[in-house]
Structure formats: C-alpha cells, structure tokens
Amino acid sequence: MNYLENLNENQKKAVLTTEGPVLIVAGAGAGKTKTITHRILHLILNGISPERILAITFTNKAAKEMRDRVLQLLRFEYGERSPRSELRSATGVPFVSTFHSLGVQILKENAELLKLPRHFNIFDTADSKKALKEAMLHLGIDPKENLDKVRHIISNEKGRGVTVSEYLERGAFDFTSELVKKTWAKYEEILNKEKALDFDDLLLKTLKLLQKYPDILEKYQERFLYIHVDEYQDTNKVQNYIVDLLARKYRNLCVVGDTDQNIYSWRGAEIKNMLHFEKTYPEVQTFFLEQNYRSTKNILAVANEIIEKNNFRIPKKLFTEKEAGEKIGLFEGRSEVDEAHFIALKSKELIDGGEKAEEIAVLYRANFQSRVLEEAFLAYGVPYQMLGTKFFERKEIKDVLSFIKASLNPESLSDLTRIINIPARGIGKTTLQKIISGKESELPESMKIKINNFRNILNDFKNVLTSQKPSDALKYIIKTSGMENMYNTGLEEDTDRLENVMELVTLATGYDIYPAEDPEVEQAHYGASGIEKFLTDSALATDQDALDQPKNGVKLMTVHSSKGLEFDYVFVSGMEADLFPHTKMNRVKKSGEEAEEERRLFYVAVTRAGKKLFLTYARVRTIFGTMEVNSPSEFLDDIPAKYTEQESFVGETPRKAIFSIDF
C-alpha cells in the first residue's frame, strides 16, 4: 500500500472508494489528477483488468498526461519491468482518452450499422463551414449573413442531443428556425455524400447508437466496468448522456470537477450536470479535495473571497499548509501602454533576480489585449511565448493588411487572392485562376462586372489610404469591405475577431501624426507616409513574431487558455469595468448565472498563481481608435485591502512607445 502514503486523507478515501458512484469536488491545485491516477492504479493492483477501466477528459494534452502518469505509477509498482508491454501482453491498458476520441473508437467499431466506412471522414471546423456554405448557396441563402449564426445553432442543438430529423419535426417558430431547417437538411446530405461526420456528430452519433442498440450498449457497459470523468463541470448534455448510459448497469462512476471552474457555457457546458449529480445518483459518496498544493495563503484567501459571492456552486473553501506569502500586487496604469510596460519590466526584474521565465504568465480576458503586451516585451528584450495565434498572424489581421497592400499595390496577387472573397462575393476559384493566369477576357460578362466592382473598391481604398489618417482609413476599410458586419454576429469567436481588428485601428493611431521629413507637410501627406510606416512596422513585427520563441519565455495567453496550468508568478491584466468582467459589444451587461461565469473565470485566473499575483488595469484604454476612461473592475472591490499592496515601476524608466498617446 506504499502508493497511498503520499495522499492526504480525503485523496486516500476517494482512491479506496471504488464501488458505486463517487463525486470528487476538487479545488484548484488540490491534486485531482494525482487522485484519479492513483485510483486507477489501486483498481489494477486489486485485480481489475486495465482494459475495464475508462478515464475521460477534454484535451489530448490532459489525456496524454493522465495516461503517462498511470503508466509511470505502474512502472514504479512493478519495478524495472515495463508495465506498458506487460499489461498489453496480459490484459491490456486502461482506456484514457478525450470524449471525442472515445466517440470515434465506438463509431469505428460499429461503422456498418451507421452505413459508414470504418475510416470515415471527420470534418474539422473549416470543412464544416465550407459544407454549410455550399448548402446555403445551393438553397439560394446568403452565407455571408447567415453561416456563422446557423452553424452555431446546429452545433448547440447537436450538443443537446437533437438530430436533424428531430429538429425538422418541430413547428415553424420564426424565420431563423426555417433557415436552420433548410440548411441543416442540406448540410446533412453533403456529410452523407462525403461519408463524413463533424465534431459534434462524433458525440451525437455515439449517443444515438448506444440508445438504439441495447446489445451494443451492454457490450460497452461490460467493457468499461469502472468509469472516471475529469473536468465533469465542463460536460454538455450529450457527453453527460453518454456517461450515464455507460455507467447505468454497474454504477461505478467517479466524476471529478469543480463548479467554480465552469467557464465554457458558451460551448454548451452545463454546470447543473455536476450540481445535480447527487440527485441522479442518490447513493453517491462525495469527497472534497480542498487542500491546495500550489498557492500561498494570501492567494487562496483572495480566491475564496472572490468565489464565495457566487450562488451556482458546490460550496468549498481552499486551504494550504504553505506560508502566507506576498500580498497581491495592484498596479494602476495611465494607459494600456503604461500597464504593459509595467508587466514587461516587472517580468524582467523577476528573471534578472533568478526566477525562471517559464514560471511567469500574463493573462488577459480578450485577445486584442495581447498586441500592446507583445510590443512591451519586445521593447525590453524579455523572452515570451504566445499561447494561441500571435496578433499579426491572426487571420482577420492578415485580411485587413492584405486589403491595404492590394489597394496600394494591385500587382500583389497573393493579397488579392486572400481577400477577393472576404466577405464572400461569389468569385470562385476558376475565376481567380483565370485572373492570375491573365485570361480574364475569357470570363462571362457578369463575372467581369463582379471583378470590376471589386477593383473599384480597392481603388476607393487607395484614395482613402493616401488622403486620410491611417486609423481613419482602417476604420473605413473594415466597415466598407464588410468585415465589420461579418464579425458582428454576437458569437464569442466573432466578437474576438472584431475586437482584434479594432485593436489594429488602435495600433494605427500611433501613425496618424507620424512626421514626414518636413514638419510643414500638408495633412494629406500624413496618410501616405504614415500608412507606409505602419505597413513596414507590421511586416517587421510579423517576421519577429514568426521566430521560434524560447520555450522558457514568459507565457502570454487568455484566461480561458490558462485553465489547468500553474505558474509561480501571474499577472492578470485589464482589470477594468466592461473588460473583466467582460461586456460583449452591442450587448447588455451580463447578469445572473451568465455573470457568475465571469467571476468563475477570474477565480481561475487567480488560482493559477503559486507565489505572487499581480492585478493590473489602465485608467484610459484606446479601443477602436477611441480613448475610453475606465473604472477599476468590480472584482477588485471584492478583495480585502489587507491582502493587497500597491505596485509601481521598478528599474528602468518606462520608454515612450511609438504607439502611445501623450495625455
């Protein structure tokens, strides 16, 4: 029983309780993965065949980590022998995977029943969008205005367990419902023709298969006698249905999660799956993992103060045996540039003092915040690594830049190719090939008119670019090209894109009065010289960002991306009203359960920190070229003053950034 010695009392109880339903409420940094892997080890060492154990999580990274840790524990218990080969030759290994991988496995094993080849095609997001667009065009529906909205509705319906036939049986509610019905039906025809499933189908088809064929369900119930689900608070309806079906016969279901870290409702995650677990399984045994092994007492005290104000949660209180630690640092910047320079300089100070760069993270609520942070880190030579797409590598940013370059240089065919159908203008690949190969004269007259109209748009943009300030010119292009409407859908991902192109406008304001050699130069010339400098600097930034950043660099990422990670030092930037908590553009302020998710998101950000937490904000932030005066986030009011201390610049005097505006 040596493997139990490194577990605390509640972890040990959860590991030893193997029969029947088990709910493990595991706080941030409380060792949930350690508990799950030791539980799997305990089952195997007590005679359960590894192949009868299932563990499901949400990401390939998490699944790989869990699988490796189980095998590492087994290797330790079996001495020098390799448990991987030994277990495979004897009884197999535990099935550790994501929900989607489990779905693929079950569907492939039963593909004939679904009239699919075993190696069926899986449509990724781009494939799905392309197929939906094809469906809409076939039906005479404008995809430019409807594609993302319809795709979002179809995905949500599938996530709730609704098939296309079930949706078609509904009565006609409104125009949108009819639009979805027609498009979804045609979309399914395309999927069937391609022998393909999209990501949502991998779960929905699995559920329907298990519901329709009792003998197949029983086969998997017998195969997976002991089931574990990690991050249970993030499951949607279909995922929860699948788990419930698989566990229904033997009820040996162990779910692990934290309602306080439910931050994916916009993906369909339902917090009530965990809140109602005890109703579904009245005989459940519940264990609380509240001892945190990551953070200091001060950080945990702040985290507890923050999250206790939420109502939709399973109450718990994190504690630690670590020292009190440093107080939470608060920094108020004059602007977002000021804030970014503080973060970069403080990071530099920490690294110069011997701290590892990879143990420092900068978190932000919205993607557009990354641009000014990257500039500051570059300015001070602080190594960093972006998690996610770098600002100038983002598609929407490249699209705007291509509009500028194609307008100023009509011979740039790569830029022309990139944006000729953004938004969609009905100009196909064949037409584009004829333009590129110099055979435009062979095109039908109707297509020539479309091409000519597009060139007129580019000529108009050229006139604006050479006569107006860069920021005004970019605003005009974003609006007139149709990009603003294209991303103004209200969906999370489109809001991010719209905010990113607005941030590009903010960047361009730094070039609005970029001086020509002659200070008396006419205003009309400012635009030309400013936009040229803007393009040059953007190209250089792209080249520099494209270089492989050292892996030990400071990590820059959204709060959503930070979930599951931990660092010694964490900066949470943009702690301002309407930014964090975030208010969607053109939408009313969040309230009720939706508002609680923003608080949970802040809780996730705070609990990433081990030694020191910094919360920063700017009095003035420029958004879409307009300076806005901000109030500090309401979340800061929830933190007792005894846990905080004011921060100021250290070391170097902040450099004046080329993009900043003097106040």
CB atoms under 10 Å from CB of 74, counted, come to 24
User: Are residues 551 and 569 in contact, defined by beta-carbon separation less than 8 angstroms?
Assistant: no
Cα(338)–Cα(336) distance, rounded to whole angstroms? 5
State phi, psi for 653 to the nearest 5 degrees: -75, 135
Tell me if residue 384 falls in helix, strand or coil: strand
Which residues, 6+ apart, have CB-to-CB distance to 40 below 8 Å?
53, 55, 70, 94, 228
- Beta-bridge partner residues of 362: 556, 571
Is 261 in the active site?
yes
Taking the C-alpha atoms of 375, 381, 383 and 387 in order, what is their torsion angle to the nearest 10 degrees? 0
Pairing of strands 53-57, 95-98: parallel
Cα(146)–Cα(187) distance, rounded to whole angstroms? 14
Tokens of 402: 């291509």
Is 607 in the active site?
no
Is 189 in the active site?
no
User: Are residues 307 and 260 in contact, defined by beta-carbon separation less than 8 angstroms?
Assistant: yes
Q: List the catalytic residue out of 327, 555, 608, 611.
A: 608
Q: What is the DSSP string of 173-231?
A: -SHHHHHHHHHHHHHHHHHHHHTEEEHHHHHHHHHHHHHH-HHHHHHHHHH-SEEEESS
Cα(383)–Cα(214) distance, rounded to whole angstroms? 56
Is 608 in the active site?
yes
Is 371 in the active site?
no
Q: List the catalytic residue out of 148, 188, 200, 230.
A: 230
List of E strands, 219-306: 226-229, 253-257, 285-289
Q: List the catalytic residue out of 231, 338, 499, 512.
A: 231
Tell me if residue 142 falls in helix, strand or coil: coil
Q: List the catalytic residue out of 32, 133, 346, 599.
A: 32
Is 433 in the active site?
no
- Beta-bridge partner residues of 652: none
Q: List the catalytic residue out of 37, 235, 261, 369.
A: 261
Q: Give the angle 269-208-212 at the CA atoms, nearest 5°.
A: 145
Q: Provide the annotated active-site residues.
A: 32-33, 230-231, 261, 608
